[in-house]
Amino acid sequence: MQIPEFFKQMLLTQYGENTTNKIIEGYSKQRLVTLRINTIKADKEKIKNKLQEAEIQYEDILWYDDALIIKNVREDEIKKLDIYENGEIYLQSLSSMLPPIILEPKAGENILDMAAAPGGKTTQMAAITQNKAYITACEKNKIRAERLKYNLQKQGVGCVNVMLEDARKLSDFFSFDKVLLDAPCSGSGTMSVFDNGFSKELIYRSSKTQEELLSKALKILKPGGEMVYSTCSILEQENEGVLRKVLHKFGAEIIPIENIEGVPVLHTSIDGVMCVAPTDLYEGFFVARIKK
């Protein structure tokens, strides 16, 4: 697989030769299909029975009871199942399941999801809280916002208010207990990005947008509140670099994320944050837990 030379040089500078080679090897592997059981509508035993009836092999995940790895079919086969059609499962990468788990949303909390579509993490937070949190989901793109609404309805989510809005433009009078900012990024943690206009300019533009979104998040997060900042990038410029530029302005601090068994990680230049390595099970991903 060919990756752009400028990007390879960025990886070499940040990670060194051995790790860069492992990252490039990780990109080239076909990721196994993974799904999340939607506990608003179904339980694990029912889903496992349905998969067995369809002769679909699966494996549990050590760190998340509601996730399964599919061993012998691709997504197209899963989409033919009633449990998919009914919204009892949600096809989602393991890496993208991490931010809601690390945020630990609770019933009764007022939570903002700043870049919510298509709704994987939004519906996951609703499921974790059994539809008992108050979630505001922002999406600036009308078509993507409609997709978000469709997924919320399909998953039986009743605790989410969708706002068709660029989260950077939210009023500073808002106040939230928790914020999830899964920020738009270059996508450098995923192989598919290299077919899709990946460039130095995209990385630069992404980091500027990320700084603006994180600044807004910290303005409207209650004092003492917590947030998660995540990207599907493995580049310091979009991850630790953004945190360094923004956190000190708001008196915010990193809450260390404990090691999660089985999740492959890359070295980070800030202690307590997590950068997931791309493998056959995980896409490259960055997560930081922040307290104001």
Q: What is the pLDDT of residue 197?
A: 79
pLDDT at residue 88 above 90? yes
Residues 262 and 190 in one domain: yes
pLDDT (average), residues 138-162: 97
β-strands 274-276, 265-266: how paired? antiparallel
Same domain, yes or no: 84 and 97 = no
Question: Is residue 12 assigned to a domain?
Answer: no
Q: Are residues 137 and 272 in the same domain?
A: yes
288 contacts 229 by C-beta, under 8 angstroms: yes
Question: Are 60 and 170 within one domain?
Answer: no
220: containing domain: 93-291
What percent of the chain has pLDDT above 70?
98
Residue where a domain terminates, one of 91, 107, 128: 91
What CATH number is associated with residue 66? Answer: 3.30.70.1170
CA gap 78, 89 in Å, rounded = 9
Domain count, the chain: 2
Within a domain: 23: no
Residue length of the chain? 292
Asked if the structure places residue 15 within a domain, the reply is: no
Same structural domain for residues 166 and 252? yes
Return mean pLDDT, the chain. Answer: 96
The Cα 281–Cα 279 span in angstroms is 5
Question: Same domain, yes or no, for 65 and 207?
Answer: no
Looking at 91, 114, 137, which one is the last position of a domain? 91
Confidence band for 175, pLDDT divided at 50, 70 and 90: very high
- The stretch 271-280 carries a mean pLDDT of 97
pTM: 0.96
Confirm whether 120 is domain-assigned.
yes
Say if 4 falls within a structural domain.
Answer: no
Per-residue pLDDT at 274 exceeds 70: yes
**Which of 91, 109, 135 delimits the end of a domain?**
91
Instruction: List active site positions.
Output: 232
Average pLDDT for residues 39-62, to the nearest whole number?
A: 97
Provide the pLDDT confidence category of residue 193 given band limits of 50, 70 and 90.
Answer: low
Residue 267 CA to residue 235 CA, distance in Å, equals 11
Angle at 163 between CA 162 and CA 164, to 5 degrees: 120
My answer on whether 108 and 240 are in the same domain is: yes
141 domain-assigned: yes
pLDDT in tens, 221-239: 999 999 999 999 999 999 9
